[in-house]
């Protein structure tokens, strides 16, 4: 063969040999989950999170065919999504009232519709099928983003049992980990989770007790022991807030998920406490070190932090992040966990106080609004008929909205015609709002401290691994760091700087000033309206109020007031409504002697005593002293108060120095009536006298006894002021107590069921 032929042969051989196939570049896949649990709790905000995340991922170049959405009931046409209109601006006047609850916009259930997106049901079977067939779509080296916007349940005793709420089901930490095990080897899964207790899913990075492989990592809205923003009252009916929203927004401008996480830490102005799998791993490392040294994690961490700060430049990124968070939320930028612990105690005290004050002002506003609404409806029977529960239930949503708007107009007009009430309403609303907003800011500041605590703990853990960690431990951390630096596609534009929180937080000193401005005055009583009949018998004003209990150490106790006293008003002006005692107390000046008029009931109206008491009110205490606990079995029985009076002419049974039964009951109580024959039998068999005490008026009880044909307990008394009920801590009828001859309670039974009967030890009733 000549050279020319050889050349042609070689040329032909080369031309027909297939070119070597280049390996496909790693692909990004996304699995988006929103179970919602059931239609009523599958909120529209969840769908918005899914929509926004899909938009971001497509904008970063991820093919729609690689984005898989599991939401609610999938393509089922049945309603699976809850939505509700925003109440009118003036709804505040009815917010919290019975009428407001009845008329506020109702949750509507609709079917999830998402044109151009295939929806699969968020159920275990569907998810397992996806993972079992993932090998056909996902190859080694690919990365999978698992985004969860949902509800979650926690289990502090066993975090492995914490779960995502799927559609009518749940998915625990261990179950998700088992799904990840179905992925082809070499695929990295990156979780972004925003449900309550989501931090428990850091456990999905490895089997318990093993080091993470780095093939599973993630970012979570909060710790394993905390609920997320959506479960707070402030999170209801609100969108575009919280961890999921901020994380998605950060992915619009940050290349990697870890960079987005850092932005969220400084931007999310809710009580969420974002963390990542490497944070959980480093906490685990520090806990092991603390256990080995017999100290606390904080003490070990602070010793390591002291060494870290010898070279602060090495931790510049973390220090700048601490500074960002401290600036954003008006706290400070700590360098040790001891500093955080001291500030946590301060903010917790402020938060507790602000929460107490917000509740006090809100209760006052609701009570006044209830009274104004009752006045309006009493004067306009046509409106009363329109807002009856049955009438409202029969309305469609547009009719309900028109009714609500019309009622709000009339109620506000009615309030404005009473300048004093209108002024109080505005005062209560303003102070409740200011206290609630400050309470919320303090709660967010607490979360900010927890975020900074996690950052400092992470620094300490990294120092520990650098100085004393083994190669396997350091390798596990390096793998998690690499996994967390996940880039879900390429940004279309140059990344921008992160935004600040939507509303700047005032300095902490301003919260102290707010606390002083919104703190209500405190009398220290529990009260209720005096029954109309009792008022009429004694000729008392319409606002006469019964003091049910006096708090220990309160201004009321120091002024000599007692449970059972009746507040009549100020010496110059009787109260016209029972709510006025609360209104007077909240707004009265503190530290100034003030007079109120009282009546102390005797056994009969002729024995009543009227008097004035001088009270010096003070600020509502943050830690309200508890009322004395009801006596327990084995403790001394309280003496029966003088208000307990026999029905009719009969005298109370003589029980001093002998065992006896106390039977708290009511004429309307079915189980009480069923218990009477057995209580009578027990009394006869053991020789124990019985005193049956009702909190109804004597006439009602007498009428009941007169009509009753079956035998009843011989000793019947009434206590309309409920002093004995409160003294014995009676929370339900019937309640049966056995008191021995020494005055000690030997048995207490709440409720009565025929099959169980009276549960006094050693007692059996043949007739049962």
Please tell me the distance from the alpha carbon of residue 664 to that of residue 351, in angstroms, as a whole number.
40
CA distances from 465 to 475, 563, 650 (A): 10, 63, 83
Please tell me the distance from the alpha carbon of residue 202 to that of residue 274, in angstroms, as a whole number.
12
Say what the pLDDT of residue 574 is: 96
pLDDT in tens, 211-239: 999 999 999 999 999 999 877 665 555 66
Specify the 3-state DSSP secondary structure of 157.
coil
8 Å CB contact between 484 and 190: yes
8 Å CB contact between 44 and 86: no
Least confident of 214-228, 486-500, 738-752: 486-500
8 Å CB contact between 304 and 464: yes
Query: Which segments of 219-336 does DSSP mark as H helices, in order?
Result: 242-251, 257-267, 277-293, 297-308, 316-328
Say what the pLDDT of residue 231 is: 72
Say what the pLDDT of residue 237 is: 54
Say what the pLDDT of residue 280 is: 98
Please tell me the distance from the alpha carbon of residue 270 to that of residue 79, in angstroms, as a whole number.
30
Phi–psi pair at 331, nearest 5 degrees: -105, -105
Question: 419-468 vs 337-379: helix axis angle to the nearest 10?
Answer: 160
Domain ranges of the chain: 28-342+444-484, 345-435, 520-619, 645-750
In this prediction, residue 3 has a pLDDT band, given cuts at 50, 70 and 90, of very low
Least confident of 116-125, 461-470, 621-630: 621-630
Say what the pLDDT of residue 624 is: 55
Say what the pLDDT of residue 7 is: 38
- Strand bridging mode 275-276 / 216-220: antiparallel
Specify the 3-state DSSP secondary structure of 120.
strand
Fold of domain 520-619:
Pdz3 Domain (2.30.42)
pLDDT in tens, 290-329: 999 999 999 999 999 999 998 888 999 999 899 899 888 9
For range 463-473, the mean pLDDT = 95
Please tell me the distance from the alpha carbon of residue 248 to that of residue 271, in angstroms, as a whole number.
18
8 Å CB contact between 614 and 608: no
- Strand bridging mode 188-193 / 216-220: parallel
Say what the pLDDT of residue 22 is: 52
Residue 580 has pLDDT above 50, yes or no: yes
For range 585-610, the mean pLDDT = 90
For range 447-462, the mean pLDDT = 97
Average pLDDT of the chain is 90
Homologous superfamily (CATH) of 645-750 is Glutaredoxin (3.40.30.10)
Least confident of 247-251, 321-325, 500-504: 500-504
Residue 11 has pLDDT above 50, yes or no: no
Say what the pLDDT of residue 213 is: 95
8 Å CB contact between 595 and 571: yes
CA distances from 454 to 273, 321, 336, 451 (A): 9, 12, 11, 5
Residue 626 has pLDDT above 70, yes or no: no
Please tell me the distance from the alpha carbon of residue 42 to that of residue 36, in angstroms, as a whole number.
4
In this prediction, residue 143 has a pLDDT band, given cuts at 50, 70 and 90, of very high
pTM for the complete prediction? 0.79
Please tell me the distance from the alpha carbon of residue 593 to that of residue 617, in angstroms, as a whole number.
8
For range 121-145, the mean pLDDT = 95
Please tell me the distance from the alpha carbon of residue 290 to that of residue 285, in angstroms, as a whole number.
9
Higher pLDDT, 401 or 7: 401
Higher pLDDT, 16 or 563: 563
For range 369-379, the mean pLDDT = 95
Say what the pLDDT of residue 264 is: 97
Residue 761 has pLDDT above 90, yes or no: yes
Fold of domain 28-342+444-484:
Rossmann fold (3.40.50)
Percent of the chain past pLDDT 70, that is, above it, reads 93
Residue 630 has pLDDT above 60, yes or no: yes
pLDDT in tens, 75-104: 999 999 999 888 999 999 999 999 999 999
Say what the pLDDT of residue 232 is: 66
Peptide bond into 94 cis (omega under 30): no
Least confident of 52-66, 526-540, 743-757: 526-540
Peptide bond into 141 cis (omega under 30): no
pLDDT in tens, 32-63: 999 999 999 999 999 999 999 999 999 999 99
Say what the pLDDT of residue 327 is: 83
Say what the pLDDT of residue 768 is: 75
Spatial CA neighbour of 173 closest among 211, 220, 213: 220
Query: Which segments of 489-590 does DSSP mark as H helices, in order?
Result: 508-518, 532-538, 555-558, 580-587
8 Å CB contact between 672 and 754: no
pLDDT in tens, 296-305: 999 999 999 9
Residue 406 has pLDDT above 60, yes or no: yes
Most confident of 397-401, 457-461, 506-510: 457-461
Please tell me the distance from the alpha carbon of residue 762 to that of residue 768, in angstroms, as a whole number.
15
In this prediction, residue 13 has a pLDDT band, given cuts at 50, 70 and 90, of very low
Least confident of 13-17, 331-335, 625-629: 13-17
DSSP 8-state assignment for residue 224:
T
């Amino acid at each position: 063969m000549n050279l020319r032929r050889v050349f042609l042969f070689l040329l032909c051989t080369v031309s027909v040999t297939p070119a070597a196939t280049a390996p496909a570049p790693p692909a990004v896949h996304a699995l988006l989950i929103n179970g919602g649990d059931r239609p009523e709790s599958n909120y529209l905000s969840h769908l918005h999170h899914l929509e926004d995340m899909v938009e971001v991922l497509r904008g970063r170049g991820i093919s729609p065919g690689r984005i898989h959405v599991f939401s609610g009931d999938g393509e089922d046409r049945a309603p699976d999504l809850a939505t509700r209109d925003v109440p009118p601006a003036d709804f505040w006047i009815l917010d919290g009232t019975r009428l407001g609850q009845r008329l506020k916009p109702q949750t509507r259930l609709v079917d999830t519709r998402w044109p151009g997106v295939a929806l699969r049901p968020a159920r275990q079977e569907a998810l397992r099928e996806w993972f079992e067939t993932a090998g056909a779509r996902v190859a080694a080296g690919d990365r999978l983003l698992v985004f969860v916007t949902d509800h979650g349940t926690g289990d502090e005793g066993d975090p492995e049992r914490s779960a995502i709420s799927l559609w009518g089901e749940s998915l625990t930490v261990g179950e998700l980990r088992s799904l990840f095990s179905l992925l082809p080897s070499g695929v990295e899964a990156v979780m972004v989770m925003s449900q309550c207790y989501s931090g428990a899913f850091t456990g999905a990075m490895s089997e318990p007790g093993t080091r993470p492989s780095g093939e599973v990592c993630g970012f979570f809205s909060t710790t394993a022991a905390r609920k997320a923003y959506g479960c707070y009252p402030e999170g209801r009916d609100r969108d575009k807030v919280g961890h999921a929203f901020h994380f998605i927004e950060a992915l619009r401008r940050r290349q990697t998920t870890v960079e987005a996480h850092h932005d969220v830490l400084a931007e999310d102005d809710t009580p969420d406490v974002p963390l990542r799998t490497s944070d959980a791993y480093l906490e685990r490392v520090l806990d092991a070190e603390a256990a080995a040294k017999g100290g606390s994690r904080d003490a070990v961490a602070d010793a390591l932090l002291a060494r870290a700060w010898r070279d602060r430049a090495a931790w510049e990124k973390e220090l700048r992040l601490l500074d960002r968070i401290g600036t954003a939320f008006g706290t400070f930028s700590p360098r040790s966990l001891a500093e955080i612990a001291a500030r946590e105690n301060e903010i917790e005290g402020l938060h507790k106080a602000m929460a107490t004050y917000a509740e006090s002002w809100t209760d006052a506003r609701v009570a006044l609004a209830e009274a104004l609404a009752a006045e309006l409806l009493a004067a306009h029977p046509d409106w009363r008929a329109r807002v009856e529960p049955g009438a409202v239930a029969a309305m469609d949503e547009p009719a309900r909205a028109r009714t609500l708007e019309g009622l709000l107009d009339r109620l506000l007009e009615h309030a404005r015609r009473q300048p004093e009430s209108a002024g109080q309403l505005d005062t209560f609303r303003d102070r409740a709002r200011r206290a609630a907003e400050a309470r919320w800011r303090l709660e967010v500041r607490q979360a900010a401290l927890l975020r900074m605590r996690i950052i400092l703990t992470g620094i300490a853990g990294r120092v520990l691994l650098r100085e004393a960690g083994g190669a396997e431990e350091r390798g596990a951390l390096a793998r998690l760091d690499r996994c967390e630096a996940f880039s879900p596609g390429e940004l279309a534009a140059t990344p921008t700087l992160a935004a600040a929180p939507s509303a700047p937080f005032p300095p902490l000193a301003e919260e102290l000033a707010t606390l002083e401005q919104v703190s209500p005055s405190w009398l220290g009583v529990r009260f209720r309206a005096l029954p109309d009949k009792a008022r009429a018998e004694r000729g008392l004003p319409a606002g006469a109020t019964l003091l049910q209990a006096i708090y220990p150490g309160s201004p009321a106790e120091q002024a000599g007031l007692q449970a059972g006293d009746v507040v009549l008003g100020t010496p110059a002006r009787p109260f016209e409504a029972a709510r006025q005692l609360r209104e007077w107390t909240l707004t009265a000046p503190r530290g100034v002697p003030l007079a109120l008029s009282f009546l102390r009931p005797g056994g009969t109206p002729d024995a009543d005593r009227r008097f004035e008491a001088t009270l010096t009110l003070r600020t509502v205490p943050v830690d309200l002293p508890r009322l004395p606990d009801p006596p327990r079995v084995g403790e001394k029985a309280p003496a029966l108060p003088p208000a307990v009076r026999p029905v009719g002419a009969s005298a109370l049974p003589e029980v001093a120095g002998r065992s006896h039964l106390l039977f708290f009951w009511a004429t309307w109580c079915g189980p009480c009536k069923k218990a009477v024959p057995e209580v009578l039998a027990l009394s006869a068999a053991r020789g124990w006298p019985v005193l049956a005490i009702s909190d109804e008026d004597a006439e009602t009880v007498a009428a009941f006894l007169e009509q009753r044909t079956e035998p009843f307990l011989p000793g019947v008394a009434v206590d309309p002021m409920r002093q004995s009920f409160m003294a014995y801590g009676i929370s339900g009828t019937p309640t049966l107590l056995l008191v021995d001859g020494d005055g000690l309670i030997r048995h207490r039974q709440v409720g009565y069921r025929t099959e169980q009967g009276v549960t006094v030890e050693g007692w059996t009733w043949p007739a049962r």
